[in-house]
Structure 1
Amino acid sequence: MSLRILHTSDWHLGRSLFGRSRLHEFEAFLDWLAGTVESRGIEVLVVAGDIFDTTTPGNATQRLYYQFLNRIALSPDSPCRHVVITSGNHDSPTFLDAPKELLRSFDVHVIGAATGELADEVRVLRDRQGNPEAIVCAVPFLRDRDIRTVEPGESLEDKIRKLSEGVSLHYAEIARIADEIRKSLGAEIPVIAMGHLFTAGCVTVEGDGVREVYAGALSLVCSTAFPPVFDYVALGHLHVPQKAGGEERLRYCGSPIPMGFGESKQQKLVLQVDFEGRKPAVTEIKIPCFQPLERLAGSLDELSLSIAALRAAGSNAWLEIDYSGDEPPAVVQEAMEKAVAGSLLEIRRIRNNRPLQQALRQSATDETLQQLDPVAVFSRCLDAYGTDESLRPALLESYREVLRSIREEDVLAEKEAGQ
């Protein structure tokens, strides 16, 4: 028996880039993905978490999601018999789960939250004749409360150990359930597991927005957590396509578009997995670039030459500019805006280290950045800019308010992780 699945993850629908909407990119990607499903005869689509970038996606973002599911699941021309969607750490489990019973009637299986009943995460997929063709262990993002109990006086090491053990036990038990189901069916069909987590030894890139899923324990899950019962493990959370533990069956497909300039040169992929019986064969499918991102660095002359080359090529890239000279920020800003004026290029960010370098100029040979608190660094930046003294109190108070807001968000995130 043969089966063809497509593995994707980390769509992050609704994400912006330095305040710029990326709706057109997500729309283009989903249109391309639906076309790929149709042209390649994909029978099962699995999406391993982080469907949305926030827990409260906007109406336009939701519309993209449901229009895509409508095209994949309801079109009479679609070869896709099943869609399996699990939550990621960016998603709201309740938001994803809300329409799941309705969607299930169209063979769209959504698992937003772990319920405590592991059998709820196991789906037997059947062909159009009703014969079993695969078992999917659709494990959603496992929150702290799903996999460990809190005990008074436990240390950070205890917490990390219990989290690691909890993830491993969850997958061991769900593998046992899947194996029993496969034996009861009497069919040598593949068992496909899903997961949204950080596997030890895997890599990220700067600026990809990958969050630490468990406070203090970023990469606590070893590849040995996935029993050999699983013929293929479709992983999400990391934006770089890669194998976990070097195993062909344990794969991250990565995000479909660059989530930041750190991913701008990365070839994005979805993974086609063809099964003959239980043996998987993985094919990497390249995703087109829907919005080019370019990082430019250097002096004003070097940056101007780089921009001129992009203009000559007719590029419509969004630019992140890293200026390395001594000109004031206002001069750099004006020069860069003049360089892109009348072109398709768009500056999204200019990084100018001159004020910060001046602010951190050591007053003593043994002074280091680690010895300065954030307010002191900000105060020195104000000095470097020559800020009007009458404005300093308000600016400092605004900066302190930003710091308080960040700390409150961190505390809230830790509380949510521990619930």
Structure 2
Amino acid sequence: MKILHTSDWHIGKTLYGRKRYNEFEAFLTWLIETIEQEQVDALLIAGDIFDTSTPGNRAQQLYYRFLHRVAASSCRHVVIIAGNHDSPSFLSAPRELLKALDVHVTGSLSGDPADEVLILHNTAGVAELIVCAIPHLRDRDIRLAEAGESMQDKSRKLIEGIRDHYATVINQARLQRAALSPAIPIITMGHLFVAGGQTIEGDGVRELYVGSLAHVPASIFPADMDYLALGHLHVPQCVNDSPVMRYSGSPLPMGFGEAGQEKSICLVEFNHSGSTTPADVRLIRIPVFQPLERIKGNWKEISDRIFRLIAEHSCAWLEIIYEGDELITNLPERLQSTIEDSSLEILRIKNNRIIRQILDQTGEGDTLEELSVHEVFEHCLSAHAIPAEQQAELRLAYQEILTSLNEDDGRAG
């Protein structure tokens, strides 16, 4: 049996104002072709299908057209879980209709962990795969807030809640397998941040819970699981050096920090001996549908690289970071002149020489653009001379508000 594992599509995401629907459409077309070429039996999508909880019409059109095409392919099953960017209610709304296409959606917890255990059957009606489809676990789903609890208490409760939920669902799956056949593989799907996971600057990965409290240890996952299909981190990677515990990564670079990173999906194959033999995992490289490039340096280094790209007939989108000592006040005009009549497009220009000059004059150490929301809050604490004994409490309140905003489901009614 062949299974494809992918995640973090973020359909609808823009890059410095540029819409990327052509890239998303090209990826989904390629994915259908790959499913047919590899004769895939099941497709697992581990969260963050959309970039926002209120996807636009074009994003929805791409999603539903893709599912319709999958239903007509060799793929017998599709399993989708919600990520932290998705609206659980939006994803779940057509779930009964999608079941007719063998598309199984888990948007949120139902109150019964058994609902997250899916038994998938082959064309003869025989069970062939068990999937623990665990969506992104929101803070309010797994922890009861108590007055006066410390950050350490919150962290402990979050980790315990996540661990307990995964253990309960996986145990349910084991019971189901024992009643059917020990040869049936069990795959666990999840959307969360495992401690030690690799991220890249500008990749759009945001904290799931309060601060970084719920970077869960890899030890919450049983060592004997047949395969763990995770979403949330955009860099393809193994968890705890295990070849069968993986983040598939995002199919498209979410920002210029990911420019040049090789993207892939995971092809997982089980032989007929079932789960007694570890899954064979192979990465399938995703083509680059829209090249991105970050160019840094002085004017000569930047212009030389641009001229090389022009000579190669590149159609890349560029981020230019000027770091030279020469003060260039007309940098945007000079750059536009350089790429004139080419297929290159500059989406962002950052003139560090001008920034340094302004900061030297104002005495400030950062610009708002360069700061994360957490750093802005820390600057506010310092600027208003908040006493140290009050800062911890204010940080906690701020982080809880930010988490609540990130987790709000705009589709829930």
How far does the alpha carbon of each residue in 1:152-175 deviate from its partner, in whole angstroms, 9 at most, with x for none?
100111111111111100111011
Cα distance in 1, alignment partners of residues 361 and 251 from structure 2: 43
What is the letter of the counterpart of residue 22 of structure 1?
R
1:49 aligns with 2:38: no
Residue from 3, 13, 19 that aligns with 2:11 = 13
Q: Which residue of 2 aligns with 1:316?
A: 315
Identity %: 52
1:165 aligns with 2:165: no
Cα distance in 1, alignment partners of residues 207 and 191 from structure 2: 12
1:414 aligns with 2:412: no
Q: Which residue of 2 aligns with 1:27?
A: 25
- Alignment of structure 1 residues 247-258 onto 2, 5 Å: 247-258=242-253
Cα distance in 2, alignment partners of residues 333 and 37 from structure 1: 44
What is the letter of the counterpart of residue 198 of structure 1?
F
- CA shift, 1:100, in A, is 0.4
Cα distance in 1, alignment partners of residues 81 and 7 from structure 2: 9
How far does the alpha carbon of each residue in 1:239-276 deviate from its partner, in whole angstroms, 9 at most, with x for none?
00101111112101100011111111110000000012
Residue from 33, 38, 44 that aligns with 1:40 = 38
Q: Which residue of 2 aligns with 1:356?
A: 355
Q: Which residue of 2 aligns with 1:65?
A: 63
1:360 partner SS: helix
Residue from 190, 213, 227 that aligns with 2:222 = 227
Q: Which stretch has the larger CA shift, 339-348 or 183-192?
A: 183-192
Q: Which residue of 2 aligns with 1:333?
A: 332
What is the letter of the counterpart of residue 414 of structure 1?
T
What is the letter of the counterpart of residue 271 of structure 1?
C
Cα distance in 1, alignment partners of residues 255 and 213 from structure 2: 20
Residue from 181, 189, 193 that aligns with 2:176 = 181
Cα distance in 2, alignment partners of residues 18 and 218 from structure 1: 30
How far does the alpha carbon of each residue in 1:10-44 deviate from its partner, in whole angstroms, 9 at most, with x for none?
00000010000110000000000000001100000
Cα distance in 2, alignment partners of residues 415 and 112 from structure 1: 18
What is the letter of the counterpart of residue 43 of structure 2?
L
Q: Which residue of 2 aligns with 1:111?
A: 106
8 Å contact from structure 1 (residues 191, 229) kept in 2: no
2:282 partner SS: strand
Q: 1:54 to 1:412 in 2, by over 3 A?
A: farther
Q: Which residue of 2 aligns with 1:380?
A: none
- Alignment of structure 1 residues 333-412 onto 2, 5 Å: 333-361=332-360, 369=365
- CA shift, 1:301, in A, is 2.4
1:143 aligns with 2:138: yes
Cα distance in 2, alignment partners of residues 108 and 418 from structure 1: 25
Q: 1:409 to 1:322 in 2, by over 3 A?
A: farther
Q: 1:374 to 1:314 in 2, by over 3 A?
A: closer
Q: 1:167 to 1:411 in 2, by over 3 A?
A: closer
Q: 1:137 to 1:208 in 2, by over 3 A?
A: same
Report how many aligned residue pairs link the two structures. Answer: 378
How far does the alpha carbon of each residue in 1:119-170 deviate from its partner, in whole angstroms, 9 at most, with x for none?
1111000000000001000000100011111111001111111111111001
1:205 aligns with 2:204: no
8 Å contact from structure 1 (residues 198, 218) kept in 2: no
Cα distance in 2, alignment partners of residues 220 and 60 from structure 1: 34
8 Å contact from structure 2 (residues 81, 106) kept in 1: yes
Q: Which residue of 1 aligns with 2:240?
A: 245
Q: Which residue of 2 aligns with 1:386?
A: none
Q: Which stretch has the larger CA shift, 91-100 or 228-237?
A: 228-237
Cα distance in 1, alignment partners of residues 214 and 158 from structure 2: 11
Q: Which stretch has the larger CA shift, 346-355 or 31-40?
A: 346-355
Which residues of structure 1 form unaligned runs of 5+?
378-407
8 Å contact from structure 1 (residues 156, 216) kept in 2: no
Cα distance in 1, alignment partners of residues 178 and 242 from structure 2: 25
Cα distance in 2, alignment partners of residues 293 and 222 from structure 1: 33
Cα distance in 2, alignment partners of residues 40 and 291 from structure 1: 24
8 Å contact from structure 1 (residues 84, 109) kept in 2: yes
Q: 1:108 to 1:314 in 2, by over 3 A?
A: same
TM-score by length of 2: 0.87
What is the letter of the counterpart of residue 226 of structure 1?
F
8 Å contact from structure 1 (residues 319, 348) kept in 2: yes
- Alignment of structure 1 residues 298-309 onto 2, 5 Å: 298-309=297-308
1:35 partner SS: helix
Cα distance in 2, alignment partners of residues 159 and 26 from structure 1: 38
How far does the alpha carbon of each residue in 1:284-332 deviate from its partner, in whole angstroms, 9 at most, with x for none?
1000000000111122222111111100000000000010135556411
Q: 1:219 to 1:336 in 2, by over 3 A?
A: farther
1:208 partner SS: coil
1:348 partner SS: strand
1:94 aligns with 2:94: no
8 Å contact from structure 1 (residues 215, 417) kept in 2: no
- CA shift, 1:216, in A, is 1.8
- CA shift, 1:412, in A, is 5.2
How far does the alpha carbon of each residue in 1:188-238 deviate from its partner, in whole angstroms, 9 at most, with x for none?
200000010110111100110000001122552111111245310000000
TM-score by length of 1: 0.86
- Deviating beyond 3 angstroms after TM superposition, the runs of 4 or more aligned structure 1 residues are 326-330, 372-375, 408-413, 416-419
- CA shift, 1:414, in A, is 2.4
8 Å contact from structure 1 (residues 160, 220) kept in 2: no
Cα distance in 1, alignment partners of residues 296 and 229 from structure 2: 37
Cα distance in 2, alignment partners of residues 31 and 251 from structure 1: 24
Q: 1:368 to 1:332 in 2, by over 3 A?
A: closer
Q: Which residue of 1 aligns with 2:288?
A: 289
